[in-house]
Structure 1
Amino acid sequence: MRKILFISLLFCISCERKVDRAIKDNDELSKVKQKKVEVFLIKRNIFYKTIISNGKISFLKKNQLYFKSTDKLTSVNVKNGQKVNKNQLLASLENNLLKNNVDKAKIELQKANNELKEKKINYNQEIISPTTLKSLQIKSGVLEAKNNLERAQIEYEQTLLKAPFSGVIANLEKKQGDFITTSDVFCTIINPNALEVSFSVLENEFGFISKGQEIEIQSFANKDQQFKGVITEINPIVDKNGLIKIKAKVISKNTGLLDGMNVKVFINKPLKDVLVVPKEALVLRSNREVVFTIENGLAKWNYVEVAGENNDSYAIKKGLKATDTIIVSGNLNLSHDAKVNATFVTDNSTQK
């Protein structure tokens, strides 16, 4: 009998040890199953919604230059890409005869002025009336000589092509000795610091656009550089594709952007007093947008509505409240009510 009692006592002690070991193992397993996540406390803030569009650069100052007379090119003084100043001589046509006509007209005017002086001798110059003076100028040929000189100078100037403004020469294909007519384009002159960008926005983005609003411009050639611009024109018509055409002046200088170059346009619009979360915090569950919060060590998913986005953040319209603690990492494979081991981090999103 005593032997049976001893064996029973040993069995009970063994069972208690197994139970204790099982509880301990379960605790260890529970700790292993707790997923490590990073969290922070959200609050209301100013959010900069970003609209991104594709645009095209054009020069505001871009003129095709023509000669006003027809003849052979005797000199070409510039080349493509060359910077020129306003009124700088770019090229000239054969004009020896026209230059001779100017010199001849100057001589004729000098003769007429000498004759006018002789005619004035017969008058007291202090009392010559304007009517009498004009009559003497006509009789002496001064007025006719002045008119002939002006005509000769105009005809001569038409053989000279000068820069209408300071800029850069482009599309120059003519060379010395070529015959050129008044319908032939000699070259194009552009001002590389007077640029405009044209782009379009969707109809539902119209409320975020206004004249005078600043934009950022990024070329596809160099994504590390961004330039500033200001919206100058909004076309008040929605086209058949649901787009509204916008124009903006580039205010940055020495951009290196070229006429016809494709660029990206970023329009930032501030949304005040909204909840802002980093993009890493938002995941998809059942094709809906979800942000996980943490409550008593458990992950809770929350369906949310997004009011806007930018490069690194979302503005949340519904689904969260201020002071919620949201999960920002380790949330890709989380499920509702999953146990988590949370570490608080600082929100380092730029919100721009």
Structure 2
Amino acid sequence: MNTPKFPSIKQQVILFLHVSALLITACTNQPNASAEVNKEALPEEKNTVEVVTLEEKDFLKEIVSNGKLSASQQAELYFEVSGSLATINVQNGNTINKNDVIADLDNETYRLNMKKADITMEQAKIDKLDALLGMGYTTVDTNYTAEHEAIADIRSGYNQAQVTFEEARLQLSKTELKAPFSGKVSGIKQKPFEQANMSEPFCTLINDRRFYIDFPLLETEISKVKLGQNVSISPISGATNTTGKICEIDPKIDENGLIWLKAEVDNPGQYMQGMNVKVSIKQAISDQLIVPKEAVVLRQNREVLFRYTQGIAYWTYINVLNENENEYAVVAAEGATLSAGDTVIVSNNLNLAHESEVEITN
């Protein structure tokens, strides 16, 4: 029987060292290969930008303020006689016309007073005629002397009856609350059959076809505006923008150094009493180099923009002359050049350096 031969210890050591060397070589080479693959997979990053052509044109210098809308007509309406509410014919937000009846009171007592006054008036007419007959006139006479008629009026109580009649008629008419002008109803709180509260307005009537806007300006800005000048109105609620005109300039400066102006504007359909709006007054300045605000960045605490020429961005110092909501009017700073027709970078310019290579995307 043959006995199996095992490798000697020396042979085992040599085999172990050989396998270890192969493993080390494999592990050492693999990361290098991976790094080479990754290095080849990453493309070179490019600066992509958008540009505009610099133009010389009119610049709209803008003065901005804030104000509130107030209706051109507004009235708090009261019941002037006491009584319980019989009917309320409108709701808050309804649009009504002039002389429409908003609400009325139970008028039974006032109608009876009117009837009594009418009877008293008829009796006074008969008594007046009796007094005139006593002075020698006949029933067919119509021309009386002023003196005789005045005496007859006093003796018959005709004057007093006439006053009582007019007062009763007026009281009856006041049981109806009518609209003094066309507008929208606001502030109704009471309900039918409640006692009318004469110390508080029953409702407020608002004519919202036209609005006034009160807004302030600094005293340094007042020389740039005038009566009749156009203004742009932008509600902060997102309602429709519109335009109006300055109709009033208060001739005094308040304790905060502000001057108050008033503009008048038509309601485009969504404006409401008390709405907050932005007021913009624009003044045209001719022959200005104009760039979007996105074109200007700060470098070393100075304003710069980048001009584009044949794939290269050139750092250019500028001075800002004027600004509005979206644009700057600019000129080249001392030692720099800038002119109409230059191509100016307006995006991805925050991290650009002088003479960076760029690629246009627009």
Establish whether TM, by shorter chain, passes 0.5.
Answer: yes
Contact 2:316 2:332 in 1 (8 A): no
Equivalent position of 1:112 in the other structure: 124
Does residue 212 (structure 1) correspond to residue 228 (structure 2)? The answer is yes
Equivalent of 2:98, from 64, 73, 86? Answer: 86
1:77 aligns to what? 89
- Return 5+ residue gaps in structure 1 as ranges: 1-31, 346-352
- Letter of the aligned partner of 1:232 in structure 2? C
Q: For the residues of structure 2 that align with 1:141 and 1:270, how far apart are their CA atoms?
A: 76
Q: C-alpha deviations, 1:23-48, integer Å up to 9, x for none?
A: xxxxxxxxx99977766664532111
C-alpha contact 2:85 2:193 (8 A) present in aligned 1: yes
CA distance in structure 2 between the partners assigned to 1:164 and 1:175 by the alignment: 22
User: 1:110-159 CA deviation, whole Å, 9 max, x = no partner?
Assistant: 33334545636538847533333333333343322211111212233333
Name 1:258's counterpart in structure 2.
272
Q: Does 1:95 align with 2:112?
A: no
In structure 2, the partner of 1:248 is 263
SS at the partner of 1:207?
helix
- Give identity over the alignment, percent: 35
1:45 aligns with 2:51: no
Deviation at 1:277, TM superposition (A): 2.3
Matched, 1:234 2:221: no
Pair 293,127 (structure 1): closer, same or farther in 2 beyond 3 Å: same
Rounded Cα–Cα distance in structure 2 between residues aligned with 1:75 and 1:218: 40
Equivalence for 1:307: 321
Gaps in structure 2 of 5+ consecutive residues? 1-43
Q: Does 1:62 align with 2:74?
A: yes
CA contact (8 A) 1:217 1:263 kept: yes
Instruction: Count how many residue pairs are aligned between Structure 1 and Structure 2.
Output: 311
- Evaluate the alpha carbon distance shift between residue 126 and residue 111 of structure 1 in structure 2; reply closer, same or farther with a 3 A threshold: closer
Q: How does 1:148-297 map to 2 (within 5 A)?
A: 148-222=164-238, 225-238=240-253, 242-254=257-269, 256-293=270-307
- 1:81 & 1:48 partners in 2: Cα distance? 39
Output one character per residue of 1:181-213: Cα deviation in whole Å (capped at 9) or x when no partner.
Answer: 421221111112132223333444333333322
User: Relative to 1, partners in 2 of residues 1:252 and 1:323: Cα closer, same or farther, differing over 3 Å?
Assistant: same
Instruction: Give the TM-score normalised by the residue count of structure 2.
Output: 0.72
- Separation in structure 2 between the aligned mates of residue 300 and residue 237 of structure 1, nearest angstrom: 50
Cα deviation for residue 167 of structure 1 reads 1.3
Q: In terms of Rg, which structure is larger?
A: 2
> What's the C-alpha RMSD, in Å, of the aligned pairs?
3.4
AA at the equivalent of 1:260: G
Tell me if structure 2 keeps the 8 A contact 1:292–1:331.
Answer: no
Deviation at residue 65 of structure 1 after TM alignment: 1.6
Q: Residue 79 of structure 2: SS of its match in structure 1? A: coil
Relative to the length of structure 1, the TM-score reads: 0.74
Amino acid across the alignment from 1:51: I
Instruction: Indicate how the Cα distance of structure 1 residues 39 and 190 shifts in structure 2: closer, same or farther if over 3 A, else same.
Output: closer
Mapped to 1, the partners of 2:48 and 2:109 lie a distance apart of 92
**CA 1:284 to 1:234, structure 2 compared with 1: closer, same or farther past 3 Å?**
same
**Structure 1 residues 323 and 81: alpha-carbon distance in aligned structure 2, compared to 1, 3 A threshold:** closer
Amino acid at match of 2:99: N
Q: 1:159 to 1:130 in 2, by over 3 A?
A: same
